[in-house]
Amino acid sequence: MIIGLTTSVVPVVSVATLPMLALQTLMASARSYPLLLDCIFAGALYVAGKVTSSAILGKRESSESLTKWFICGLVDGWACHAWYSFLEVKFAYMTNKLTQTLVMNGLSSAFFTPTYCAGFLVLLSLLERKGVRGAVDRVKRDYSDITTKSVQVWAALNMPLFLCVPLHMRVVVSMGLHYVYLVGLALWDANVRKAADAGTCADTPAEELLPVHSAGSKHSTAWGTASEDTAQPVLNLAYAKVSLVNLDIGPHGPHQEPPF
C-alpha cells in the first residue's frame, strides 16, 4: 500500500443472501411506510395476477385493462390497511388471540366485505365511464352473487390472517394470496377447458362442431360474458373482494373478467 493512501473495503454481497435482504427491506418498509407500501404492493400484485392468469389462458391484456386493475389494487390496499388497523385498535384489549380473531373475522364478514364488494362494482363502472346509472345497474345485477362468494372465501382465509400474521404484514400477505389464487385458478381453468374440448371433439359429429350463435346464449355479469356450457361457475368466485373479471368485455358487464 502506498503511504498516504487509504483503501476502502467494499462489502461483498452473496447472491444467495439477496432474497433475505429483499425480505428484510420489505418488512422494514412495511413498518416505516405501511400505507404507501400496502397500496403499491396491492396494485402491483393485482396487475401481476391478471397478466399471469391471462397469459396462462392464452390472452393478452391491454394497457387500459391493466390500469384499471392497478387502480382496483390501490383501492383494495388502502381499504384493507384502514380496516385491519381499525380492528387492531378497537380490539387490542382482548387478551385471548383466538377470541379476538373470531370477532375480527365476524365483523369483516358482516360489514367490510359486503361494503367493499359494493364499492368495487361502483368503481368498475366509474372506470369504464358508465356513470351513476351504470353503477346502480351493476350493483343490482351482481352485488348479491359477488358478496356471497367473497364472504365464503374470506371467512376461511381471514382466520389464519388475523391469527398468525402481524398487522404491518397483513395486507401484503392477503394480496399474495390473491395472486396465488388467480394464477392457480387460471391453471385449473385451462386444464378443465382442455379436457372438456377434447371430450366434445371426440364425441360430437363434425357437423355439430360448427359454431352456432344464439342471441340468448350469452350472460353478462361483473365477471364477464359466459357463452359456453363448459364455463365453470367456480371461476366467478370473488377472491380478495374481486371477481376473476376481464375488465374489457361488453356493454353490460365490466369490460371484463373477477378479482382477489
Residue extents of the structural domains in the chain: 35-205+219-236
Smallest CA-to-CA distance from 72 within 120, 133, 131, 143 is with 120
pLDDT higher at 252 or 14: 14
Average pLDDT of the segment spanning 47-52: 88
Whether 147 has a pLDDT exceeding 70, the answer reads yes
Q: What is the pLDDT of residue 111?
A: 95
| 81: Cβ contacts below 8 Å, ≥ 6 apart | 34, 35, 38, 39, 171
Average pLDDT, the chain: 74
CA distance 193 to 232: 9
Average pLDDT of the segment spanning 176-183: 82
Cα separation values, 241 from 109, 153, 155, 198, 234, Å: 11, 9, 12, 33, 15
Helix-helix angle 18-32:34-56, to 10 degrees: 130
Q: What is the pLDDT of residue 202?
A: 56
Binned at pLDDT 50, 70 and 90, residue 120 comes out as confident
Q: What is the pLDDT of residue 65?
A: 84
pLDDT higher at 253 or 39: 39
Grid cell of 193 as nine digits? 377447458
pLDDT higher at 138 or 214: 138
Binned at pLDDT 50, 70 and 90, residue 218 comes out as very low
pTM score > 0.95 for this model? Answer: no
Q: What is the pLDDT of residue 163?
A: 94
CA distance 112 to 240: 12
